[in-house]
Homo-oligomer: A and B are copies of this chain.
Amino acid sequence: MALANENYLKTPEIYCFDEIEKRVNAFKVLHPNAKVIRLGVGDVSRPLPNEVVQAMHKAVDEMSVLDSFRGYSPPQGYDFLIEKILKEYRSIGVFLDKDSIFVNDGAKSDIGNIGHVLGRDNIIAISDPVYPVYENATIMSGRAGVLTDDQKWSNVVYLRCTEDTGFVPELPTEKVDVIYLCNPNNPTGTVMKKPELKKWVDYAIEHQSIIVYDGAYQAYINEPDVPRSIYEIKGAKKVAIEIRSYSKTAGFTGLRCGYSVFPQELLVYTKYGEEVPLIKLWSRRNANYTNGVSYIVQRGAEAVYSRKGKAEVHELVDYYLTNASLLRNELLSIGFEVYGGTNSPYVWFKTAYNQSSWKFFQQLLYENHIVGTPGVVFGSLGEGYMRFTGFSSREDTLLAIERLRRGV
């Protein structure tokens, strides 16, 4: 009798962003002519950079000719892309081995897959609120324990990420083995500076823990004292993998490309305490579970690093950041309590009149025809908050601002 992995039954039946879609669709049935402005899901809206487009056309042409056709990609990705990634790291003073880079189909996959190469008994720490995939992957992997009355999982250590912690997660008071960190933070839009991040690296070194560092939004960092990579912190190579993506940077949400860094120095342990380089396990996973990323998309990603490509990406990021900043300023001037939106495309703010997140979501949708993401979908400590994104068009962002000004 084929048995189910019953841990999968413990996760919400409907993925939170699909629940939002459902409610928006219900609204649209009632109000077919309303222009709904989407400041909810973090999906980009601007077309691809021209350099990326040209590189992909060239790659498609190569694939059409016998002499330049390419079959399977090297398992960790093409050297032409990996060299560019290493060079960008070098430009911020981070020196990585070529073998430590694993090109993937975007950050989300590896955020979940990392759990497969780790022992079942690890204690996982995630912040609250948090990107839901960290928690769902923890539940699915059987590490969450049981759901308690306050909607928390008994074996998960939740790191408060609230007003009193400055909306960055607080260090655990107990011993944890694996820590998910997202910097700039999704959903709160806040950032940890070097001294703050150093505390995490030191904690991980002391406790032989590892940090899964989600750097999907690093391109949005403006301020010089905010680290763009966790490897800017001394000792981080011993304890952190770093996951990055071209999705929010170069508009690759529909193309699918990113990469993960597994430094050779990063150790995990057998139950007898023997050291194992994590990259050894990850390489085996990589060889058996994937056949790499599309050649065409890897060529597109390479183009991001050309002089013109960089300028185009900078312009894209600036566009979304300006949107976020416009939203932030408007919300502030109306009188909301607002966080994020400066080193991040996300603006995090308290709901009006202390309403619940979902109630405020409904109000925004039905009164202002604006879709936000209710803070509570990111965790119970997100209750009473709302997330807006800067990923819409400028026109829609300005229209949303006008509607907010008319009254929330």
Contact = CB atoms under 8 A, between A and B. Distances in A.
Interface in A284-331: 284-285, 287-297
B289 A113 contact: yes
Nearest to A3: B119
7 contacts: A1-B207, A4-B117, A4-B281, A6-B119, A133-B288, A247-B291, A294-B296
A47 to B, nearest CB: 4
- Copies of this chain, tallied across the complex: 2
B288 A5 contact: no
A50, A140, A254: most-surrounded residue (chain B CB, <10 A): A254
Contact of A4 (B60, B108, B118, B255): B118
Interface string A178-197: 10000000000000000000
Interface of A: 1-6, 8-9, 11, 13, 15, 18, 41, 43-48, 50, 53, 56-57, 60-61, 63-66, 69-73, 75, 105-106, 108-109, 112-113, 116-122, 132-133, 136-137, 140, 177-178, 207-210, 247, 251, 253-256, 268-271, 273, 276, 278, 280-281, 284-285, 287-297
A209 to B, nearest CB: 6
A295 B120 CA distance: 35
A4, A47, A132: most-surrounded residue (chain B CB, <10 A): A4
Contacts of A116: 5, 116, 140
Contact of A2 (B66, B106, B120, B208): B208
Contacts of A296: 56, 255, 294, 296-297
A60 B15 CA distance: 30
B294 A254 contact: yes
A2 B209 contact: yes
Given A53-B60, A273-B1, A47 B65 contact: yes
Contact of A294 (B72, B117, B294): B294
Contacts of A121: 3
A19 to B, nearest CB: 11
Given A137-B288, A284-B11, A288-B11, A5 B47 contact: no
Nearest to A289: B112
Contacts of A117: 4-5, 8
A273 B15 CA distance: 26
Nearest to A275: B4
A134 to B, nearest CB: 10
Contacts of A276: 4, 9
A108 B289 contact: yes
